[in-house]
Amino acid sequence: MGFRMGIVGLPNVGKSTLFNALTRTAAAQAANFPFCTIEPNVGEVAVPDQRLDKLAEIAKSKQVIPTRMTFVDIAGLVKGASKGEGLGNQFLANIREVDAIAHVLRCFEDGDVTHVEGRIDPVADAETIETELMLADIESIEKRLVNIVRKVRGGDKEAVQQERLLKQALAVLEAGQPARVVEVDDEDAKAWKGLQLLTTKPVLYVCNVSEEEAASGNAHSEAVAKMAADQGNATVVISARIEEEISQLDEDEAAMFLEEMGLHEAGLDRLIRAGYELLNLETYFTVGPKEARAWTIKRGTLAPQAAGVIHGDFERGFIRAETIAYDDFVAFGGEQGAKEAGKMRAEGKGYEVKDGDVLHFLFNA
């Protein structure tokens, strides 16, 4: 299981440059004019995890298979998108299909790169896009409320629930806040997700700074961080130019380049980790001589459902999960050593899988 993160922002903020770095391709045309990305570019990237390499080394695995994430580079949005301006309708439709939004904000000064509004103000840029998404949600809700009137009058339970949730969302949006601030009960969670409102998507602000400011950020990124903190959202400071350069280097060259720039790790690694946090994702491992593999699950997933990520039969016929914590697997030199040290546990259907667990599932075929 992975997830789809949409890379959004105004034109010329560095979305496509960042996407190129993420996918290590030049598939997205990074050109200095609006709408150079006409169709959403989709790329899958491996999730960097040093634990997987360590496990493979210990188990002498022939193959190493990381878990993957999908990134979607979405066409630049302009003011009026909710009314179809620019490529607004397409932009909004593409956002509905992603699980989270990486909102790239221009936090660099460069007279050679045109800003669509003729100024550098990332907080205002963020507000522009948020406003367009909120306006689109309001329009969508108003239409849906009209369309379900008859079912509500007829006492249809799903329609009554939908109307209640739509009205909750509308009240928040009309007060100038995104729908994600609505607190939803567990019994409403599925119906709420089914509404597919744009402003319910989790948001990560990506501050694109110049190469010289990649390590420290700047006044623009600090302003974004303050805005994000007030909203309860996260930020990552990245130089898309640096990330694109790093993506073309081998591992040793990349490490030297990062050191020269005063960076401890690639910004993309921080972006991916922040994305994991954003959607409450975590990783477990399966390890053996044939392969060491990482699997993505939602935090709080029980063992049978975690097994189901590998194959549905594993979940249906689940018996137990032989479980070793990552630290124990490493400390005792692998599965056999951990087992002899009493560190392998047999966990049943009620076990909540932990990040870093090394698992072996037993099931009835």
Percent of the chain residues topping a pLDDT of 70 = 88
The residue to which tokens 């601030």 are assigned = 181
* DSSP-H helix ranges across the chain: 15-23, 50-59, 88-96, 122-147, 149-153, 157-174, 189-194, 219-231, 240-247, 251-260, 267-278, 303-310, 312-316, 326-331, 335-340
Q: Confidence class of residue 28 from pLDDT cuts 50, 70 and 90?
A: very low
Query: What residues does each domain of the chain span?
Result: 4-278, 300-363
Q: Is 80 annotated as a binding residue?
A: no
- Model pTM score: 0.80
Q: Is 14 annotated as a binding residue?
A: yes
Superfamily of domain 4-278: P-loop containing nucleotide triphosphate hydrolases (3.40.50.300)
Residue with more model confidence, 359 or 48: 359
Distance CA 170, CA 177 (A): 10
Q: Confidence class of residue 89 from pLDDT cuts 50, 70 and 90?
A: low
Q: Is 94 annotated as a binding residue?
A: no
What is the rounded average pLDDT for all residues in the chain? 86
Q: Confidence class of residue 32 from pLDDT cuts 50, 70 and 90?
A: very low
Distance CA 232, CA 199 (A): 14
Q: Is 155 annotated as a binding residue?
A: no
Q: Is 208 annotated as a binding residue?
A: no
Domain 300-363 = CATH 3.10.20.30: yes
Q: Is 151 annotated as a binding residue?
A: no
